[in-house]
Amino acid sequence: RKEVEQDPGPFNVPEGATVAFNCTYSNSASQSFFWYRQDCRKEPKLLMSVYSSGNEDGRFTAQLNRASQYISLLIRDSKLSDSATYLCVTQGRGNNRLAFGKGNQVVVIP
Amino acid sequence: DADVTQTPRNRITKTGKRIMLECSQTKGHDRMYWYRQDPGLGLRLIYYSFDVKDINKGEISDGYSVSRQAQAKFSLSLESAIPNQTALYFCATSDVDISNTGELFFGEGSRLTVL
């Protein structure tokens, strides 16, 4: 089983709408979870960490469900500039390693 | 200027050639990493280094070697390139244990094509 699984999409979202997507992880011992953003032909950049209690950063909300081993990202009031691939990242097996998902591609449509 | 710089940014080569990808950073971080990204496979760790002369294998180290010449420099070599090494390669740095912070600082990537 892959360490992190994501539905690659694309998720086509009208501007101003809300979009949400999940990723599942297999390492039940993982304590750390993150979302990265990767623009087309660019490097990934950390978007936000995901805390057990959930957390919000502006229009972005991240949630963790340990029982079902998934994390989610919700984007409210989508902007054209939100078009990107969102990578789900967890603590990998072995020390000091992160496991990356393939990414959820979001396309915000005017 | 970028804090993490990779050269070359694009390279086309032939099967069997030796290729070196170079990475330098001005962030002062001790930890450096090499990843490759393939469509449909996500980012996979090739090698990482926590200090000069410290080298550790990642998930997919076969066919690759690395050298950490200085704190700021970490190079990746393909001794004899093969077509399935065609990919986008990223160098990254971190200042502490990334299991906690999750923050890697990536270079802009090196696109390698092996014919």
Q: How far is CA B63 from the centre of its chain?
A: 13
The reply to whether A4 touches chain B by the CB within 8 Å rule is: yes
Query: Do B24 and B73 form a contact (C-beta atoms < 8 A)?
Result: yes
Percent of chain A with pLDDT over 90: 75
**Alpha carbon distance B23, B75 (integer Å):** 6
Segment A11-63, tens digit of pLDDT: 999 999 999 999 999 988 888 899 999 999 899 999 999 988 889 999 999 99
Tell me whether residues A8 and B40 touch, CB distance under 8 A.
yes
The average pLDDT across A85-89 equals: 95
Query: Do B104 and B98 form a contact (C-beta atoms < 8 A)?
Result: yes
Q: Which helix (H) or strand (E) holds A91?
A: strand A84-91
The reply to whether B108 touches chain A by the CB within 8 Å rule is: yes
User: Three-class SS string for A3-61?
Assistant: CEEECCCCEEEECCCCEEEEEEECCCCCCCEEEEEECCCCCEEEEEECCCCCEEECCEE
Angle, CA of B33, B38 and B39, to the nearest 5°? 145
Bond into B83 cis (ω within 30): no
| pLDDT class of B106 with cuts at 50, 70, 90 | very high
Chain A residues closer than 8 Å to B57 by CB: none
Tokens describing residue B3: 């804090």
Chain A residues closer than 8 Å to B109 by CB: 41-43
Segment B59-93, tens digit of pLDDT: 999 999 999 989 999 999 999 999 999 999 999 99
pLDDT at A94: 67
Segment B5-47, tens digit of pLDDT: 999 999 999 999 999 999 999 999 999 999 999 987 889 999 9
Bond into B39 cis (ω within 30): no
pLDDT at A95: 60
Residues 6+ apart with CB under 8 A from A82: A13, A75, A106, A108
